[in-house]
Structure 1
Amino acid sequence: MAGLTLLFGLILASFCACSADTAQILRYENSNLDSDGYAFSFETSDGISREEKATLKNPGTPDEAIAVQGSVNWVGPDGVHYTLNYLADENGFQAQGEHLPQVEH
């Protein structure tokens, strides 16, 4: 859990470091899919974009849960374009990105 908190902290720090000026929202979409989930996406003038979709799995059963899948893109202070893809479901939070350290199983 501490590793996950550190990862989110590093991502947030990257966003903050990139946004010295106030960014403008270029695109924003938000959909409430009733009780079946939601979807949203946005893009800002400083190169950040994000999209996320949640779906209800196993509705009406004891295993009912929300599964969230998404991605976020940004340009770091080093000028590199980063992409983080993620899935959060009954198996926990799973992040993928070329910039992330690889964990050996």
Structure 2
Amino acid sequence: MKSFIVLALCVAVAVAIPLDSSKDAVVVRYDNDNIGVNGYNYAVETSDGKKADEQAVLTNVGTEDEAISVRGSYSYTGPDGVVYAVTYVSGVEGFQPQGAHLPVPPQ
């Protein structure tokens, strides 16, 4: 009888533990504009609160300095319950992220 009570207690604890919501997440928003010319943009959001968006444009078109310039952001809730958000730009100067939780390089 004691083993049954222990087993029932273990099952009750296992049922009470929240499941990882990202395993069951679904896309609740998806926008995409990519015709393959002069840039693109997209935005996506999932039911577990993750979000991402990005816009890109082609710069210096027709020159040897032609490049793509990108701006974007993403956010998610960490295991500690804090929402982490990152914004970034990327181009000829490289990838440059910013976020409250990221270290700032010395000037």
Structure 1 and Structure 2 fold alike (TM over 0.5)? yes
TM-score, normalisation: structure 1: 0.78
TM-score by length of 2: 0.77
1:20 is displaced (CA, Å) by 4.5
1:19 CA drift (Å): 5.3
Of all paired residues, the percent bearing the same amino acid is 47
Root-mean-square deviation (CA, aligned residues, Å) is 1.4
How many aligned positions are there? 88
Provide runs of 4+ in structure 1 moved above 4 Å: none
Tell me, yes or no, if structure 1 residue 46 matches structure 2 residue 57: no
- Structure 1 residue 93: deviation in Å? 0.5
Shift of 1:22: 2.3
Contact 2:22/2:48 (<8 A) preserved: no
Distance 1:54 1:104, change over 3 A: same
Assess if the C-alpha contact under 8 Å between 1:53 and 1:70 holds in 2: yes
Q: Greater relative contact order (Cα 8 A, min sep 6): structure 1 or 2? A: 1
Structure number with greater Rg is 2
Match of 2:84 in 1: 82
5+ long unaligned stretches in structure 2: 1-19
Give the deviation of 1:33 after TM superposition. 4.4
Give the one of 35, 38, 41 matched to 1:36.
Answer: 38
Structure 1: distance between partners of 2:84 and 2:78: 7
